[in-house]
Amino acid sequence: MVNGVFEWERPLIELENRIKELQAFTKEKGIDFSEELATLERKADRLRAEIFSNLTPWQRVQLARHPRRPTTLDYINMICTDFVELSGDRCVRDDEAMVGGLALLDGMPVTIIGPQKGRDTKENIRRNFGLPHPEGYRKALRLMQQAEKFGRPIVSLIDVVGAYPGIEAEQRGQGVAIAENIRRMSFLRVPIVCVITGEGGSGGALAIGVGDRVLMMENAWYSVISPEMCAEILWKDTGRAPDAAAVLKIGAQDLLELGVIDEVIPEPLGGAHRDREQAAQRLKEAVVRHLRELLPLSGDELIHRRLEKYRRMGRLAQETEERLQAVSESPRD
Amino acid sequence: MVNGVFEWERPLIELENRIKELQAFTKEKGIDFSEELATLERKADRLRAEIFSNLTPWQRVQLARHPRRPTTLDYINMICTDFVELSGDRCVRDDEAMVGGLALLDGMPVTIIGPQKGRDTKENIRRNFGLPHPEGYRKALRLMQQAEKFGRPIVSLIDVVGAYPGIEAEQRGQGVAIAENIRRMSFLRVPIVCVITGEGGSGGALAIGVGDRVLMMENAWYSVISPEMCAEILWKDTGRAPDAAAVLKIGAQDLLELGVIDEVIPEPLGGAHRDREQAAQRLKEAVVRHLRELLPLSGDELIHRRLEKYRRMGRLAQETEERLQAVSESPRD
Amino acid sequence: MPVFKDLFRSKSRYATVKPSQGDGDQPRPQPARPKEVPDGLWVKCPGCQNILYQRELARNLQVCARCGHHFHVGAVERLSQLLDSLDTFEEWDTDLRTVNPLGFPGYEEKLARMQAQTGLSEAVVTGEGKLDKYPVAVGVLDFSFFSGSMGSVVGEKLTRLFERALERRIPVVVVSGGGGGARMQEGILSLMQMAKTSQAVERFGASRQPYISVLTNPTMGGVYASFASLGDYILAEPGALIGFAGPRIVERTIRQSLPSGFQTSEFALKNGMVDMIVERKDLRPTLARILRLHRA
Amino acid sequence: MPVFKDLFRSKSRYATVKPSQGDGDQPRPQPARPKEVPDGLWVKCPGCQNILYQRELARNLQVCARCGHHFHVGAVERLSQLLDSLDTFEEWDTDLRTVNPLGFPGYEEKLARMQAQTGLSEAVVTGEGKLDKYPVAVGVLDFSFFSGSMGSVVGEKLTRLFERALERRIPVVVVSGGGGGARMQEGILSLMQMAKTSQAVERFGASRQPYISVLTNPTMGGVYASFASLGDYILAEPGALIGFAGPRIVERTIRQSLPSGFQTSEFALKNGMVDMIVERKDLRPTLARILRLHRA
Ligand SMILES: [Zn+2]
Ligand SMILES: [Zn+2]
């Protein structure tokens, strides 16, 4: 990527820039280029549809990582009012790679949490590039348990490459923290709506990703392993991450078909970063709609359905009794 | 103290040593000193009663700190069978200044916890001189919550000078850990019997000291502040700790009268270290008796009574309406 | 804990004893008004060493306008800063009086001196007032009275604060700033107030109303290790000393000087112990916002 | 969670698909007996570099007699070490078969190879057996099968293990040693097994029976970050690799070499993540003691 532009979208970006220039020129000089502009716009529309309607899995991964893609706090600020950010796990540290707090969403009080990437280098260092330590997961859990205490629904916005592969993170038991979060989250008595907004990497995502509804932005990815690491394992070549992205089935549409997510939230053509406000509005609409469906349910009912949902996860085959019989009667080796 | 002997018990110790010598001599040489021995024994009994029946608060503090006084693990090994020690807070560290686990006490499965002092310098370093860090309190809480899960009663043996005044202990929030333990312990649905076996120092003791019954060994102390620190504050002189021990009312009998503890467990004359087995048996008898009284109660009933008990703690006066009236009608200053 | 809720509604379960002091020594119900600050008095700011006029300082909520240093605020002044108006405040349990349960030498005299100096009867003022037009149960520890330390009366008043708030289903705000932690002079009974108040906090949870704990300079020892740490939300004023063991004791134990910023609010935030640091001028709006979110 | 208990008693709530492989490739129910070790085979001990005879090693529970290095133990051999006798073991869910839900390239072939090599149909063996004369539900991950990693079948078998143990009110012991963590070839469905198994563990709590998790070399990734970390008691064999992120990934991230002992059982004990380290020879007695205490 050069200047936030991918190679494969360059023709479109150049065309869009020419349109902008022409518009500026029109305004400045007062010359009418409306006919030329219309032609260019039509061409741009065609090109946009052509490029963005047939994105490869890897192109979507690239969009999910776009530096101008809205971060968790960006979304919170766009979809909520009265956000009160809360800090700390009450045990070790405040992990700024995980944010959360209390806010109004469409008039409803909610607890909203999520990993937070930095929007520049300085912020990225403070936020460990959006990679939480165990205390980040524990902070999220603390806030979710607070939500449960007050009967507030929970919105979890997920955008994380994965758990942090660092010494301290291992020392302070990120495996245990992730397991504990999964366990506790599964039995919270309030509605939980999770949205993979960007990257959904492995245990780091699942640690805040068990919900009554799991939604996914159109260009987000969610996987048991990052495409790079998968490529490294399969072909000893991280350069083949695009191939790995394809075989892992990590796109929103694939996950919908696998029954792992409940809905795909469409993004503005070309990705959330091309129209952040619109992306946020669509996210908000979907989250609010699902929350309103869940709010009438009792705690028991929520947990019951949530457990049923995860109980069904997985695909396997069951041998028939007869087949097993036949196999075990055949001679060994 | 020289060689584990206090100045004020030296005459007795010397006499006891002479008796032992004479007994050895009798055995070795076959000469009959039974009459002399009887006289000496009578004298020793008188002296023992004289010295140990009128201990000052400070002398008891000294006994509570005696290097041969049984530690928590000593008591566990003497009163329980099948002890399985469990480790870790699942968050930060295993704090060896706090021990705990699962054991059989008089045939009953119990969870038994307590701070652990070292029995020599090497062990003391490993166990931070029996001063827990926050993770020690959290480990104790984890084990108590496990006890609750399995409906097991809890025995808390308390012997701790206080919370550890160190940088890391503050960093990891020992104030928060103590408060959290107090809160959680108060609402556990299983019987809790606490025994101050040696030192009961301030928040460090209370963090594992909220129980349905709080017992105290005869020579233990339990206080909001150590006598040394109190002396430092009052007189800028830790040397006056004996005076502080007296004014603070930290002995078992005083605390019984103040309604803070429920029973004093008598120690062998001269302190638990003079007959560790007997001390342990008395401790065991008392703990088992209280547990058996509590076992029939439901979780609701236990919590109800426990809260009622602490609700009454404190002494104060209430002005009558008339007096208040009168006072507020009188002119100011 | 709906099971226990009713049990604690009845009053006077603590042990009551007759006041031991003579009539003349009796503390008076304190005036529920901030004391007038005389003109011309000044203080030196410990933050920036500048000379500040007290009247100006009071107008700026006792915060140095030059360096932001937060001075101590008395209980009544704090109430006037936080509530819609002091007129909305109804004080509770003004009839509780401290005794000397251990016969601790000099305790009565020191109490009398404190009472005379501060016009308060004890280190905490509790009651109900309006914040953002809605009722809130509020407790404020006053550092000027025995370092805001907790003895039987402070523990009892705070416990009743949570109990009444539970009955009335209204939120609780407690402003803690007690350098003394537990009140040494009441010995073990002070320690027991930590258990009593912590239990009251937990029982209050049944109200589904929030408890906001505000930590001011200094919040230490038994105050910090009980109710003050148990807020659903924990706010701290900037630069407050917050911790369990006193810094001098820590310094003596580790035999080296303390790292800069040790046990400050900022240290507590970094270590995950508080939710946020709130400047005094933002305290009232922040409380109002959290409470408003809870009413939504 | 008595409310949900009944719901999960019914079987087959997962999505079943027809086996996609031909008849000849079908794995067979594995023999519930440790494979005979041929005479004269030897291995070099990675702990002390000594040459060890496999028969001797097997007699010593696959622990090097010289340095105590704990070798991998296959599922069936492990069962024979832990249970009163293999005859008491009734295997469960032998009819579940792995499919290739993502159409992951080469997955079927690799599975077939693993099955042929190990005689196992998947990476976990589950069932009921007797330990110290009492029934226990037991699951053992086998490192030799796909590094003991968890896909849909492993997750399902473990989930059913906890469900049946809940029905029968018997304790659960799971021996985990899966270097692969989640099974990459089943993609997101493997990740979901972490949620499914963790939920099964928590629901099992309603039985009031203990779940003992035994961590063996290596317990990593998605296995560690789910059911393996959620034991009421967590035991670890000495020197096992235990952690979430693989050591090579950590090394690459931090760009420096790892501290010695990083991610070992001893490291996990020191950091508070396991209850105790138990040598293999003491494992059975320790399990027996804990289970006995729970029957008292
Ligand atoms: Zn200043
Ligand atoms: Zn070896």
Pick the closest to residue A215 from A270, A279, A287 (CA basis).
A287
Please tell me if residue D166 touches chain A, with a CB cutoff of 8 Å: no
Asked whether A58 and A227 are in contact (CB, 8 A), the reply is: yes
Question: Which three-class secondary structure string do you get for chain A?
Answer: CECCECHHHHHHHHHHHHHHHHHHHHHHHCCCCHHHHHHHHHHHHHHHHHHHCCCCHHHHHHHHCCCCCCCHHHHHHHHCEEEEECCCCCCCCCCCCEEEEEEEECCEEEEEEEECCCCCHHHHHHCHHHCCCHHHHHHHHHHHHHHHHCCCCEEEEEEECCCCCCHHHHHCCHHHHHHHHHHHHHCCCCCEEEEEEEEEEHHHHHCCCCCCEEEEECCCEEECCCHHHHHHHHHCCHHHHHHHHHHHCCEHHHHHHCCCCCEEECCCCCCHHHCHHHHHHHHHHHHHHHHHHHCCCCHHHHHHHHHHHHHCCCEEEECCHHHHHHHHHCCCC
Expressed in angstroms and rounded, the spacing between residue D276 Cα and the centre of ligand 2 is 22
Q: H helices of B30-79, where?
A: 34-52, 57-64, 72-79
Asked whether C178 and C147 are in contact (CB, 8 A), the reply is: yes
Please tell me if residue B138 touches chain A, with a CB cutoff of 8 Å: yes
Question: Which three-class secondary structure string do you get for C120-176?
Answer: CCCCEEEEEEEECCEEEEEEEECCCCHHHCECHHHHHHHHHHHHHHHHHCCCEEEEE
Q: Provide the greatest CA pair distance for chain D.
A: 57
- Which residues in chain C are contacts of A91 at CB distance < 8 A? 272
Is the alpha carbon torsion for A299, A300, A305, A311 positive or negative? Answer: positive
* Minimum-distance CB partner of C270 among A86, A93, A149: A93
Higher confidence at residue D5 or residue B274?
A: B274
In this complex, whether C and D touch, counting 3 or more CB pairs under 8 angstroms, is: no
Mutate to test the interface with A, among D120, D191, D249, D271 (most CBs of A within 10 A): D191
- Which residues in chain A are contacts of B180 at CB distance < 8 A? 90
Low-confidence ranges of chain A (pLDDT < 50): 328-333
Mean pLDDT of chain B: 93
The tens digit of pLDDT for each residue in B250-286 reads 999 999 999 999 999 999 998 999 999 999 999 999 9
So what's the pLDDT on residue D253? 87
So what's the pLDDT on residue A24? 87
Lowest pLDDT segment from A220-229, B145-154, C9-18, D156-165: C9-18
The number of CA neighbours under 13 Å toward the Cβ of D151 is 25
So what's the pLDDT on residue B30? 81
Q: What band does B321 get if pLDDT is binned at 50, 70 and 90?
A: low
Please tell me if residue B32 touches chain C, with a CB cutoff of 8 Å: no
The tens digit of pLDDT for each residue in C227-273 reads 999 999 999 999 999 999 999 899 988 888 999 999 999 999 999 99
Ligand nearest to C-alpha C239: 1
Asked whether B189 and B153 are in contact (CB, 8 A), the reply is: no
Ligand nearest to C-alpha D65: 2
So what's the pLDDT on residue C100? 96
**Does ipTM surpass 0.95 in this model?**
no
- The answer for residues whose C-beta is within 8 angstroms of residue D265's C-beta and 6 or more apart is D215, D236, D237, D238, D239, D240, D242, D274, D277
So what's the pLDDT on residue D1? 33
Ligand nearest to C-alpha C60: 1
Q: Which of residues 210-229 of D touch B (CB under 8 A)?
A: 210
Smallest Cα distance from A150 to chain C, Å: 6
Q: Do B87 and D290 touch (CB under 8 A)?
A: no
- Which residues in chain A are contacts of B90 at CB distance < 8 A? 173, 176, 180
Q: Do A90 and B173 touch (CB under 8 A)?
A: yes
Please tell me if residue B225 touches chain D, with a CB cutoff of 8 Å: no
So what's the pLDDT on residue A324? 58
Higher confidence at residue B25 or residue D234?
A: D234
Asked whether B72 and B50 are in contact (CB, 8 A), the reply is: no
* Minimum-distance CB partner of B109 among D270, D274, D293: D293
The beta strand positions in B66-128, using DSSP E, are: 81-85, 98-105, 108-115
Please tell me if residue A151 touches chain D, with a CB cutoff of 8 Å: no
Asked whether C215 and C242 are in contact (CB, 8 A), the reply is: yes
Expressed in angstroms and rounded, the spacing between residue B99 Cα and the centre of ligand 1 is 48
* Minimum-distance CB partner of A202 among D191, D228, D243: D191
R_g over Cα of chain B: 23
Residue C29 lies in a domain: no
Mutate to test the interface with D, among A174, A212, A315, A333 (most CBs of D within 10 A): A315
Please tell me if residue A247 touches chain D, with a CB cutoff of 8 Å: yes
Average pLDDT over every residue of D141-165: 97
Residue C51 lies in a domain: no
Q: Provide the greatest CA pair distance for chain C.
A: 57
Asked whether B157 and B101 are in contact (CB, 8 A), the reply is: no
So what's the pLDDT on residue A325? 57
Does D34 score more than 70 pLDDT? no
Q: What band does D39 get if pLDDT is binned at 50, 70 and 90?
A: low
Does D12 score more than 80 pLDDT? no
Q: CA C227 to CA C206: how far, in whole Å?
A: 16
Please tell me if residue B91 touches chain D, with a CB cutoff of 8 Å: yes
The count of residues in chain A is: 333
Q: Do A90 and B138 touch (CB under 8 A)?
A: no
Q: CA C57 to CA C66: how far, in whole Å?
A: 11
Looking at domain B62-311, its CATH class is alpha beta
The tens digit of pLDDT for each residue in B66-112 reads 999 999 999 999 999 999 999 999 999 999 999 999 999 999 999 99
Expressed in angstroms and rounded, the spacing between residue C277 Cα and the centre of ligand 1 is 18
Residue D54 lies in a domain: no
So what's the pLDDT on residue A219? 96
Burial class (CB within 10 angstroms; exposed 0-12, middle 13-18, buried 19+) of B265: buried
R_g over Cα of chain C: 19
Residue D187 lies in a domain: yes
Average pLDDT over every residue of B324-328: 54
**Helix D75-82 vs helix D280-295: crossing angle, to nearest 10:** 60
The answer, as to whether pTM is greater than 0.90, is yes
So what's the pLDDT on residue D40? 65
* Minimum-distance CB partner of B92 among A90, A172, A180: A172
Token pair recorded at residue D255: 């760009």
Look up residue B165 and give its amino acid. P
State the DSSP H helix or E strand holding residue B320, giving kind and residue range, or none if neither.
none
Ligand nearest to C-alpha C65: 1
- Which residues in chain B are contacts of C1 at CB distance < 8 A? 187, 303
Expressed in angstroms and rounded, the spacing between residue C216 Cα and the centre of ligand 1 is 17
- The answer for residues whose C-beta is within 8 angstroms of residue D90's C-beta and 6 or more apart is D127, D128, D129
Smallest Cα distance from C29 to chain B, Å: 7
Ligand nearest to C-alpha D239: 2
Q: 10 Å Cβ neighbour count for A233?
A: 12
Residue D202 lies in a domain: yes
Expressed in angstroms and rounded, the spacing between residue C232 Cα and the centre of ligand 1 is 32
The neighbouring-strand residues paired with B254 are none
Residue C225 structural domain: 4-14+72-295
Smallest Cα distance from D296 to chain B, Å: 6
Does D21 score more than 60 pLDDT? no
So what's the pLDDT on residue A79? 98
Please tell me if residue B243 touches chain A, with a CB cutoff of 8 Å: no
Residue C137 lies in a domain: yes
Q: Report how many Cβ contacts below 8 Å link chain A to chain C.
A: 58
Q: Do A91 and B90 touch (CB under 8 A)?
A: no
- Chain B: residue whose CA lies nearest to D287: B84
Chain centre to alpha carbon of residue A141: 18
Higher confidence at residue D31 or residue C185?
A: C185
Helix (H, G, I), strand (E, B) or coil at C234: strand
* Minimum-distance CB partner of B92 among A90, A92, A180: A92
The ranges assigned to domains in chain A are: 7-54, 62-311
Low-confidence ranges of chain C (pLDDT < 50): 1-37
State the DSSP H helix or E strand holding residue B149, giving kind and residue range, or none if neither.
helix B134-149
So what's the pLDDT on residue B323? 64
Q: CA B227 to CA C123: how far, in whole Å?
A: 24
User: Which residue matches tokens 């700011």?
Assistant: C45
Please tell me if residue D47 touches chain B, with a CB cutoff of 8 Å: no
User: Which residue matches tokens 């949530």?
Assistant: A306
Q: What is the CATH number of the domain that holds C98?
A: 3.90.226.10
The count of residues in chain B is: 333
- How many domains would you assign to chain D? 1
- Which residues in chain B are contacts of A173 at CB distance < 8 A? 90-91
* Alpha-carbon distances of A254 from A203, A209, A259, D145, rounded to whole Å: 19, 18, 9, 28
Residue D161 lies in a domain: yes
Helix (H, G, I), strand (E, B) or coil at B42: helix
Q: Do C258 and B172 touch (CB under 8 A)?
A: no
Q: Do B146 and D272 touch (CB under 8 A)?
A: no
Q: Do A173 and B90 touch (CB under 8 A)?
A: yes
Asked whether A190 and A213 are in contact (CB, 8 A), the reply is: no
Lowest pLDDT segment from A15-29, A179-193, D113-127, D269-283: A15-29
Ligand nearest to C-alpha C49: 1
Expressed in angstroms and rounded, the spacing between residue C53 Cα and the centre of ligand 1 is 11
